[in-house]
Structure 1
Amino acid sequence: MTVTEVPVEGDAHAPSPDTGGRRRRRGHVTVLGVLGDLLITAGVLVLLFIAWQQWFNDLVVAKQHEHQAQQFSKSLGAISTPAPTPTQGYGPPKVSAQPRNTKVFGVMYVPRFGATYAVPMAGGTTTAGTLDTIGIGHYDHTQMPGQVGNFAVAGHRTTHGAPFNQIANLQVGDKIYLETADGFYTYTFRNLEYVPPTQVTVLDQDPDDVGVATKDRIMTMTSCNPMYSAQERIVAFSVFDSWQPRSAGAPTAIASEVKG
């Protein structure tokens, strides 16, 4: 006699009324749910666009800086093929006059920042006048390249070409070259320091001994820290190494980049 087994209520083996023995749950789609998903997607796309635009904009502006630097170098006139440095050197470095606000007076080359790195330097550190449009700004009332004291400059670390984007990557001994109408000045990177925005003593003639006249030639580069914030300042100190007039040619390390 054949016995038909009756499934017990709640039996795991009991077939579902749906085909294939599987339970199915109907989803409930609401207008608010769809709207929420669309807003999240739109937000993500906007953030990606802003990030891409900033990255792309920095590349474009950095190229503009490089082109402007080349044009300025050319405007200074042709330079000679690098000549051997005389045994006695070239004497005390020649010092240019203080530039007026937004006036381009030189070019900075930093091999550590890239083989083609070349950025114009201009008078003043106003955001709209110099930093956003030209590149590197010279602090008024600080010294000029090669002058005894402190040659101090500022530059963006992000946006507007970000000329000091890699300032934290400088290593002790790195060379920094400055070109002006008078010649080429070489500085050697010494150390980094992090200070609050109010600590303006880093711009003093001798940042290590505030209020004291110095016999040293120093260069100070400042930018914001951390990235995308103005909470504090990152400061790079370098010391004067040497100089040579334009008639002696450009330093070998940047000779291929100088367009004079």
Structure 2
Amino acid sequence: MRTIIRLVGLGLILTGLLMGGLRLHQDWQQDHEYGRAQQNLRDQLWQPQVGHQASAPPQGAKRKGPGLREGKALAVLRIPKFGSGYRPVVVEGVSQDALAKGPGHYPGTAMPGEIGNFAVAGHRTGWGQPFNRLDQLKRGDSVTVEWRGRSDTYRITETKKVKPTEVGVVLPVPNRPGVKPDKARITLTTCTDRDPVTRAYRLRLVVWGELRER
């Protein structure tokens, strides 16, 4: 019986090590693909007329932004609190494929610096985890978005954890449906508070900011 218990215990240990190794490999692969995608996106931003409808999209493709298809480079996000090396390229769209490349702009929300709400989602773990430190942002911290040759800087006004069903956080005036926006805002969202059993994220972390006067 002792031998059987030892063998079962050894088997569990080996299984745990194998699962851990597979997870590390998966994380490495995701980060590698994310880095390669980010480099391709930076190359896109150097191309002329990025962000403009320079040519017609392929038949059946849906335009999600001002001349951009889902997954295409839109802007560069800078957060001084995260250091000078933090500059992920934001893509158009928030599908799984889009967010695997970088933070994604919610289709239909405002563009950077415009009146309304420029809303962006990003992964907290995996795929480069661009928003893994989002919880460090506090009221008064700055967030800069570089877009079409200009820089728009926002000041953080509030952070909050909400349920995934609370989609009003990305409205033109957050959580106030039907209200006409009177200023330019930014909203950053990511997952938080992972369930220890299911490993699923139970809440969303939301960071709001307002455009600083130019």
Interval containing the TM-score (normalised by the shorter chain): 0.7 to 0.9
Counterpart Cα distance in 2 of 1:101 and 1:108? 18
Instruction: Describe the SS at the equivalent of 2:25.
Output: helix
Counterpart Cα distance in 2 of 1:113 and 1:119? 11
Give the structure 1 partner of residue 12 of structure 2.
Answer: 40
- 1:103 equivalent to 2:72? Answer yes
Give the structure 1 partner of residue 60 of structure 2.
Answer: none
Give the structure 2 partner of residue 143 of structure 1.
Answer: 110
C-alpha deviation, 1:70, in angstroms:
4.3
Give the structure 1 partner of residue 202 of structure 2.
Answer: 231
> In the TM superposition, what whole-angstrom CA distance separates every residue of 1:205-249 from its partner, at most 9, and x where no partner exists?
111533210211100011112145331211000111155xxxxxx
- 1:168 equivalent to 2:135? Answer yes
C-alpha deviation, 1:56, in angstroms:
3.9
Structure-to-structure mapping, 1:1-260, within 5 angstroms: 30=3, 32-53=4-25, 56-57=28-29, 60=32, 63-64=35-36, 67-68=39-40, 70-75=42-47, 97=66, 99-128=68-97, 130-132=98-100, 134-207=101-174, 209-227=176-194, 229-242=200-213
| TM-score, scaled relative to structure 2 | 0.79
Kindly provide the amino acid, as one letter, of the partner of residue 236 in structure 1.
V
Counterpart Cα distance in 2 of 1:53 and 1:103? 27
**Contact persistence 1:101–1:123 (CA under 8 A):** yes
**Contact persistence 1:142–1:152 (CA under 8 A):** yes
Identity %: 28
Counterpart Cα distance in 2 of 1:68 and 1:57? 17
Root mean square deviation, CA, Å: 2.6
C-alpha deviation, 1:166, in angstroms:
0.6
Counterpart Cα distance in 2 of 1:161 and 1:63? 7
| TM-score, scaled relative to structure 1 | 0.66
Instruction: Describe the SS at the equivalent of 1:41.
Output: helix
**Contact persistence 2:42–2:73 (CA under 8 A):** no
In terms of fraction of residues, the more strand-rich structure is 2
5+ residue gaps, structure 2, are: 50-64
Kindly provide the amino acid, as one letter, of the partner of residue 174 in structure 1.
D
5+ residue gaps, structure 1, are: 1-27, 78-95, 244-260
**Contact persistence 2:77–2:145 (CA under 8 A):** yes
**Contact persistence 2:73–2:92 (CA under 8 A):** yes
Counterpart Cα distance in 2 of 1:241 and 1:60? 35
C-alpha deviation, 1:63, in angstroms:
4.2
Greater relative CO, 1 or 2 (CA 8 Å, sep 6+): 1
Kindly provide the amino acid, as one letter, of the partner of residue 49 in structure 1.
G
Counterpart Cα distance in 1 of 2:23 and 2:140? 34
